[in-house]
């Protein structure tokens, strides 16, 4: 149902055999490195759905998306390549004081049937839609996992009985994520997608966000603030349209049309000025 070869070209990968642990790692790594987590469609008044085929087409065309798009499309790609992949109802906890579990604001994937020396069960947490979180698949085994400069935890979920709890690094953009056991269809996320993409209460509607993970850290563009988080942290304010466009292309691999730029930049600048006013108050 999706253009597998086009998708693999977008990731700059060749399909070189049956499902494998090495192949799964390469697919996860290249996806988070080359397909940005981003919500610009909301800021450009470009409605989207959670349909994996539509999401895959948008990725092939050079754009990204957030979890429902990225993991939905990755599920379709992994399925087409023969992996035993399952979609799960997930809930991201933004801050420690926020509720955990039963929110349904995240689509998460697991892959089975791929045992390795450090993961004899062969079950893996796979996620290209957590923005600044994992770079590699994580064994579905409770423990602590080091990836580049970040440390993650995985343990049984208290909010979702029988499920898993992912604890983010303290420098991450959210606290953790709970995964509900059992498979779900994409229809489980339609209402939350509508809320996230249209509600004035949605953080995606209030703030533009772009993230790209690599082996050594993460690049984040929140509004006009470009931040690199790794072994050290740096922040740059992109207060010129040209600098913003260059960062989109060079850091995140995103190229907008002239019409999209002229529509997006005034909105971002207005939001930035509003943020500055709030900061000075």
pLDDT at residue 278, as a whole number:
76
Average pLDDT (200-212) is 96
Exposure b/e, 163-179, CB count within 10 A at least 16 = b: bbbbbbbeebbbbbbbb
Q: Using alpha carbons only, give the angle 215, 153, 98 rounded to the nearest 5 degrees.
A: 110
pLDDT at 279: 66
pLDDT in tens, 128-187: 999 999 999 999 999 999 999 999 999 999 999 999 999 999 999 999 999 999 999 999
Beta bridge partners of 210: 38, 221
Cα gap 59→69, rounded to integer Å: 9
For 92-116, what is the mean pLDDT?
Answer: 93
Mean pLDDT of the chain: 95
Q: Three-state DSSP class for 227?
A: strand
Q: What pTM did the predictor assign? A: 0.96
Let me know: does 76 contact 56? Beta carbons within 8 Å. Answer: yes
């Amino acid at each position: 149902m999706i253009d597998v070869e086009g998708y693999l070209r977008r990731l700059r990968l060749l399909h070189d055999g049956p499902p494998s642990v090495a192949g799964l790692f390469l697919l996860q790594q290249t996806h988070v490195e080359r397909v940005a987590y981003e919500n610009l469609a909301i800021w450009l008044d470009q409605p989207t759905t959670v349909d994996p085929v539509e999401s895959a087409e948008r990725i092939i065309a050079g754009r990204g998306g957030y979890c429902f798009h990225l993991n939905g499309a990755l599920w379709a790609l992994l399925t087409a390549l023969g992996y035993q992949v399952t979609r799960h109802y997930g809930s991201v906890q933004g801050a420690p004081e926020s509720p955990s579990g039963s929110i349904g604001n995240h689509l998460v994937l697991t892959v089975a049937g791929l045992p390795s020396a450090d993961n004899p069960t062969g079950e893996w947490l796979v996620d290209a839609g957590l923005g600044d979180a994992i770079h590699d698949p994580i064994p579905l085994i409770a423990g602590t996992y080091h990836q580049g400069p970040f440390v993650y935890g995985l343990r049984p979920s208290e909010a979702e009985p029988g499920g898993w709890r992912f604890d983010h690094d303290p420098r991450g953009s959210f606290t953790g994520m709970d995964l509900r056991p059992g498979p779900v269809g994409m229809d489980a996320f339609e209402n939350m997608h509508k809320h996230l993409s249209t509600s004035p209460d949605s953080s995606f509607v209030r703030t533009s966000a772009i993230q790209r993970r690599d082996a050594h850290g993460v690049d984040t563009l929140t509004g006009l603030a470009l931040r690199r988080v790794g072994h050290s942290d740096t922040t740059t304010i992109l207060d010129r349209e040209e600098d913003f466009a260059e960062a989109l292309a060079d850091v995140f691999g995103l190229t907008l049309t002239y019409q999209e730029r002229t529509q997006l930049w005034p909105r971002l600048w207005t939001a930035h000025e509003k943020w500055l006013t709030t900061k000075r108050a």
